[in-house]
Amino acid sequence: MSGCRLCGGVVEEFLDLGPQPLPDAFLSPDDPAGIAAEFFHRLAVGRCGTCTVVQLTDEIPREQVFHHDYPYRSASGSSAMREHFTRTALGFVETELSTADPFFVEIGCNDGTLLRTGAESGIRHRGFEPSGGVAKIARERGVRVRTEFFEESTAAAVREAEGPADMIYSSDTISQIPYTASLLRGVDALLSPGGVFVFEDPYLRDMVEKTSFDQICNERFYLFSVRSVQAMAERFGFELVDAVQLPTYGGGLRYTLARAGARRPAPSVARLLAQEVAQGLAESAGLQRFASSVTGIRDDLVGLLRSLREDGRTVVGYGATAKSATVTNFCGIGPDLVPYVCDTTPAKQHLLTPGMHIPVKPPAAFSDPYPDYALLFAWNHAEEIMAKEQRFREAGGRWIVYVPEVRVI
């Protein structure tokens, strides 16, 4: 047991995924010293008995995770995500940012995909992105970025220099920030009296329903539910006023926080809270059942891959995602079972995956020649990927998925 990072309560561990590398720390095959010095971290999750937030039991220094060469790119690979960010930005321009001279701030703006849309609409903006490589890309696209972490001191500096923000937004980032107190004090310092703090993250209820344990990684400290976000907001003078389910992130939720009493909560908040209680997310037993299902998926997936290898079938991975690092390291899937994985991100190609050291190849390798089976690590983009790889199916290829259970398509 450990102390809750949010409220100090007792955190009871329910799932241990073993030693894991940083999920985006790809390795050069020409750097044996780097491979030998690879960092591993015990990845385990627990639930706070007081505020119910699900969180990692151990924390990694943020500078070690979000370093200069951090390889994730918002705009890479998935047209669906690019469209999501464009639609999201345009929606904000028509609603929360429709006032005179609005100021829009994004926490973890990455390569500026979303902020650029706002900038093109004439919105005054500022992004926070501590990873220098992607921050540089954002600047080249005309996005105004501070290469630093968002916290109380940096937020106060922006407030003094540029005035209050009408809206603060973040995508798949707040769950990665364990220092919640400084973060929300920063939101309090920067946000205007009538402004909103909107953030999107993977949703614990969807994760449990789908047994999508690969969304747990040591970059993502919290696994949020509506109840835990509501408790977090109240501790810092905010109120959860809306919660909207999203198809992104393999099942996500968009939370809207406002200052306490400033807005009437939408009906969706009470509805989702009731659903979480019915599913047992507020109780340890429901999470223990999830942990048992995770073990079953591991055994089924490894058994299938070994059987295919014995039959002389070829299997390659599709999508060198952060999720794939969790799966391969927890299940012990290495090049003996999956010789390589294809990925569209140039920064990952010709490197080795974290931990299990599976070679990453460009997309062209997938059809040269087609394998018998493809293990779909990027399962949250399954529809888009399968439509793009129709020739693989026509050539007799089959997909292996493991969410919500192991099956061949």
Residue 180 forms part of a structural domain: yes
User: Domain containing 372 — which CATH number?
Assistant: 3.40.50.720
Q: Are residues 346 and 213 in the same domain?
A: no
Would you say residue 137 lies in a domain?
A: yes
19 and 137 together in one domain = no
Inter-residue contact 118 to 130 (CB < 8 Å): no
216 in the same domain as 84 = yes
pLDDT in tens, 293-345: 999 999 999 999 999 999 999 999 999 999 999 999 999 999 999 999 999 99
How buried is residue 226: exposed, middle or buried, by Cβ count under 10 Å (0-12/13-18/19+)? buried
Asked, for residue 267, whether it belongs to a domain, the answer is: no
Please check whether residue 33 lies inside any domain of the structure. Answer: yes
> What is the pLDDT at residue 68?
47
Q: Where a domain ends, among 214, 229, 262? A: 262
- Asked if residue 370 and residue 238 are part of one domain, the reply reads no
pLDDT in tens, 109-143: 998 989 999 888 899 999 999 988 889 999 999 99
Q: Is residue 275 part of a domain?
A: no
Instruction: Give pLDDT < 70 ranges for the chain.
Output: 1, 62-78
DSSP letter at 251 equals S
Q: List, as own/partner pairs, every contact residues 330-337 make where C-beta atoms lie below 8 angstroms and the sequence separation is at least 24, other chains included.
A: 330/17, 330/18, 330/20, 330/213, 330/298, 331/298, 331/301, 331/302, 332/302, 332/356, 333/301, 333/302, 333/305, 333/358, 334/358, 335/359, 336/309, 337/302, 337/305, 337/306, 337/309
Q: What is the domain extent for residue 372?
A: 286-408
Complete edge-to-edge strand list for the sheet that includes strand 360-361? 360-361, 341-342, 315-318, 373-376, 398-401, 407-408
Q: Residue 56: what pLDDT?
A: 95
Q: Within this chain, do residues 109 and 243 fall inside the same structural domain, yes or no?
A: yes
For residue 91, tell me if it sits in a domain: yes
Identify whether 274 is part of a domain. Answer: no
Query: Does residue 273 lie in a domain region?
Result: no
Tell me, rounded to whole angstroms, the distance of Cα 383 from its chain centroid. Answer: 19
**Is the domain of 218 the same as that of 342?**
no
Domain count, the chain: 3
Q: What is the pLDDT of residue 78?
A: 61
Q: Are residues 76 and 49 in the same domain?
A: no
Tell me how far CA of residue 19 lies from CA of 2, 40, 106, 331, 359, in angstroms.
Answer: 18, 6, 32, 11, 20
Tell me, yes or no, whether 108 and 19 share the same domain: no
> Where is the domain boundary, 222, 246, 262?
262
Q: What is the pLDDT of residue 249?
A: 75
Same domain, 242 and 95: yes
Q: Are residues 165 and 184 in the same domain?
A: yes
The predicted pLDDT at position 219 comes to 82
Q: Please give the Cα distance from 63 to 8 (Å, whole number).
A: 24
* Residue 35 shares a structural domain with residue 71: no
pLDDT at position 284 is: 83
86 and 186 part of one domain: yes
CATH number at residue 170: 3.40.50.150
